[in-house]
Chains A and B, each alone.
Chain A
Amino acid sequence: DTGVSQDPRHKITKRGQNVTFRCDPISEHNRLYWYRQTLGQGPEFLTYFQNEAQLEKSRLLSDRFSAERPKGSFSTLEIQRTEQGDSAMYLCASSSGQALRFVETQYFGPGTRLLVL
């Protein structure tokens, strides 16, 4: 169990550019989540995958955001035409579908910190 990993850890981009982040969940975890956290706030839910299916999306996930999990393993989060308001920490979490849902713990990665200039 190597934990949830995210790449890159830091990204600086100019407004209008596209960025893509990657998340590798704990192996055999079939549930994967993306959250966004801005300074001084708690994380906000963006989207949820069960295997390769995207089952839940927040209203925060505008048309410029797209997430995929093509083979039910790693996931990518792409932001198109970045805006300064997209600057935040993007967190990925995973959990095991084998656990009973009410005891299911989400394990978080270290996050990708995005700065849009």
Chain B
Amino acid sequence: KQEVTQIPAALSVPEGENLVLNCSFTDSAIYNLQWFRQDPGKGLTSLLLIQSSQREQTSGRLNASLDKSSGRSTLYIAASQPGDSATYLCAVRLDSGYALNFGKGTSLLVTP
């Protein structure tokens, strides 16, 4: 069973700081990895998807990297803003199926 772990569980930073969220997974036979954002009581918004053959993806102030062999991904957020406050979830799809396997998320608070 694919285990996905996200560290830290919670993070509080002042506005303007750059930050890194970490995701690790136990089964390296992945097809892709997605990062999502979830606001309290809401559904999930897809941020970035990295194919298993890729090393990184960028969208605006977000950059996600993937090291499949070591079972790690990072989400880098540059110049954080209060509007970035949310829970960030990492999800891995295995080679063998369509289900996404999620971590528990990192709860981010960016203070003005």
Which residues of A come within 8 Å of B, CB atoms?
4, 31, 33, 35, 40-45, 48, 55-56, 58, 91, 93, 101-111, 113
The answer to whether B41 touches A113, judged by C-beta atoms less than 8 angstroms apart, is yes
In the complex, chain B residues whose CB is within 8 Å of the CB of A42: 4, 89, 91, 102-105
In the complex, chain A residues whose CB is within 8 Å of the CB of B103: 42
Interface residues on B, range: 20 to 34
Contact of A43 among B49, B97, B102 (CB under 8 A): B102
The answer to whether A105 touches B49, judged by C-beta atoms less than 8 angstroms apart, is yes
The answer to whether A102 touches B32, judged by C-beta atoms less than 8 angstroms apart, is yes
Closest Cβ of chain B: how far from A69's Cβ, in Å?
Answer: 14
In the complex, chain B residues whose CB is within 8 Å of the CB of A101: 31
In the complex, chain B residues whose CB is within 8 Å of the CB of A106: 34, 46, 100
The answer to whether A110 touches B98, judged by C-beta atoms less than 8 angstroms apart, is no
What are 17 A-B interface contacts by the 8 Å CB criterion? A31-B98, A33-B99, A40-B104, A41-B104, A42-B89, A42-B102, A43-B100, A55-B98, A56-B99, A102-B31, A102-B52, A102-B53, A103-B32, A103-B51, A104-B32, A106-B46, A108-B45
The answer to whether B44 touches A43, judged by C-beta atoms less than 8 angstroms apart, is yes
The answer to whether B43 touches A110, judged by C-beta atoms less than 8 angstroms apart, is yes
Q: Which 10 A-B pairs have the closest CB atoms?
A: A42-B102, A45-B99, A108-B44, A110-B43, A108-B43, A102-B51, A48-B98, A111-B43, A102-B31, A42-B104
Q: Is there a chain A Cβ closer than 8 Å to B81's Cβ?
A: no
In the complex, chain B residues whose CB is within 8 Å of the CB of A56: 97-99
Closest Cβ of chain B: how far from A38's Cβ, in Å?
Answer: 10
User: Which residue of chain B lies nearest to A46 when distances are taken between CB atoms in the complex?
Assistant: B99
Closest Cβ of chain A: how far from B45's Cβ, in Å?
Answer: 8
The answer to whether B101 touches A45, judged by C-beta atoms less than 8 angstroms apart, is yes
Closest Cβ of chain B: how far from A97's Cβ, in Å?
Answer: 10
In the complex, chain B residues whose CB is within 8 Å of the CB of A43: 44, 89, 91, 100, 102
Closest Cβ of chain A: how far from B87's Cβ, in Å?
Answer: 9
The answer to whether A48 touches B99, judged by C-beta atoms less than 8 angstroms apart, is yes
User: Which residue of chain B lies nearest to A110 when distances are taken between CB atoms in the complex?
Assistant: B43
